[in-house]
Amino acid sequence: MSVLLLAEVNNGHLVVDAVAKALSALAPLGDGIDVLVMVGEGDSAARQAARLDGVRRVLLAQGDMLAHGLAEPAAALIASLAAGYTHIAAPATACFRNILPRAAALLDVMVITDVIAIRDAATFDRPVYAGNAVQTVVSDDPIRLLTIRTSVFHAVGEEKGEAAPIEAVPTVPDPQLSTWVEDSTVVSERPELTSARVVVSGGRGVGSRERFGDIVKLADRIGAAVGASRAAVDLGYAPNDWQVGQTGKVVAPDLYFAVGISGAIQHLAGMKDSRVIVAINKDADAPIFRVADYALVGDLFSIVPELTAKL
């Protein structure tokens, strides 16, 4: 087995949690994983990757066209490196959901997305139907391209000994099909949603953007990330990158607070692997209570401030 892992990079820095979790997911495939770091410039992400457990070597590709995660140059580069590998994997982030299927088409192989278990070199589990079923698939392709649902894996640690070697790889010509214009990033001091240990999410029941402030206060009090249901995002209570669900982010924290969230299947698809789920809702029949470990039926406008004060 020879595995290439594509590293998630944000502003030139390695997204360590996503990469470390993908490394542990891939560990059953063999004894040494190459990590490809694609950046505009600089080698700090590569140096961070080189220290993670299980990394054999780091391939560093630098170039302006790789700075913003554009799919066309990245997929072309990945396809050019594929010959030496049996598996190419990436965390199932927005960046690689965009790139990897394109690379698969260039290589004439299928892509296997959102893998939650690697059974052997050819056999993988993935959720379908918004997480209401789990399929086991066997791939006949000569090279397997996977995205890993990192929320279900533990992160590997840092290597105690020597860091893995870093090698520069030549880039391929930019196909110049698309150009980056701008990013509008939501600045946040809070933990990142997909890697937070505790998540506090609000839904339609929160009632207004102002009152969503109570959810944020509770989260900040306990050092949690803030999430939201689709309804809360559509109503303008919360920005859309807070959305948890089939079409938003998939999280699996130790503790998930669902406040004023009814629990539609599309939302459950994004959080039902959390270790402990607490639901606070005034409707005793809300479907969220079917997955909640602790259910508190009542008025969230009095419960949330009380919880914030007492925690």
Q: Residues marked as binding?
A: 204, 229-230, 243-247, 260-267, 281
Q: How many residues bind other proteins (CB under 8 A)?
A: 90
Among 26-34, 44-52, 130-138, 208-216, the segment contacting other proteins (CB under 8 A): 130-138
Q: Is 179 one of the binding residues for other proteins (CB under 8 A)?
A: yes
Write out the binding residues for other proteins, residues 277-306 only, by CB under 8 A.
Answer: 277-279, 289, 291-297, 303, 306
Pick the closest to residue 212 from 222, 200, 221 (CA basis). 200
Write out the binding residues for other proteins, residues 83-112 only, by CB under 8 A.
Answer: 93-95, 97-106, 108-112
Task: Find residue 120's DSSP bridge partners.
Answer: 123
Q: Is 113 one of the binding residues for other proteins (CB under 8 A)?
A: yes
What is the rounded distance in angstroms from the CA atom of residue 229 to the CA atom of residue 232?
5
Q: Is 151 one of the binding residues for other proteins (CB under 8 A)?
A: no
Q: Is 130 one of the binding residues for other proteins (CB under 8 A)?
A: yes
Decide the pairing of beta strands 166-168 and 55-62.
parallel
Q: Is 75 one of the binding residues for other proteins (CB under 8 A)?
A: yes
Q: Is 208 one of the binding residues for other proteins (CB under 8 A)?
A: no
Q: How far is CA 291 from CA 1, 109, 202, 278, in A?
A: 39, 37, 16, 9
Inter-helix orientation angle 71-81/94-107, to 10°: 50
* Interacting residue with other proteins among 198, 216, 220, 221 (CB under 8 A): 198
Answer for the pair 132, 265: CB distance below 8 angstroms, yes or no.
Answer: yes
**All residues at 6 or more sequence positions from 257 whose CB lies less than 8 Å from its CB, including other chains:** 198, 199, 200, 201, 218, 224, 278, 280
Q: How far is the CB of 160 from other proteins (least distance, A)?
A: 29
* Interacting residue with other proteins among 215, 255, 259, 261 (CB under 8 A): 255
What is the three-class DSSP state of 51?
A: coil
* Interacting residue with other proteins among 24, 139, 150, 229 (CB under 8 A): 139
* Interacting residue with other proteins among 13, 128, 208, 299 (CB under 8 A): 128
What is the rounded distance in angstroms from the CA atom of residue 97 to the CA atom of residue 63?
21
Residues placed in the known binding site for FAD: 204, 229-230, 243-247, 260-267, 281
Q: Is 181 one of the binding residues for other proteins (CB under 8 A)?
A: yes
Q: Is 133 one of the binding residues for other proteins (CB under 8 A)?
A: yes
Q: Which two tokens stand for residue 107?
A: 């290589």
* Interacting residue with other proteins among 39, 70, 200, 286 (CB under 8 A): 70
Q: Is 178 one of the binding residues for other proteins (CB under 8 A)?
A: yes
Q: Is 129 one of the binding residues for other proteins (CB under 8 A)?
A: yes
CA 78 to centroid of chain Cα atoms: 20
* Interacting residue with other proteins among 28, 64, 123, 209 (CB under 8 A): 123
227 CB neighbour count, 10 Å cutoff: 34
What is the rounded distance in angstroms from the CA atom of residue 289 to the CA atom of residue 32?
44
Q: Is 189 one of the binding residues for other proteins (CB under 8 A)?
A: no
The residue behind tokens 């669902």 is: 258
- Bin 42: left if φ > 0, else alpha if -120 < ψ < 50, else beta: left
Write out the binding residues for other proteins, residues 26-45 only, by CB under 8 A.
Answer: none
Q: Is 275 one of the binding residues for other proteins (CB under 8 A)?
A: yes
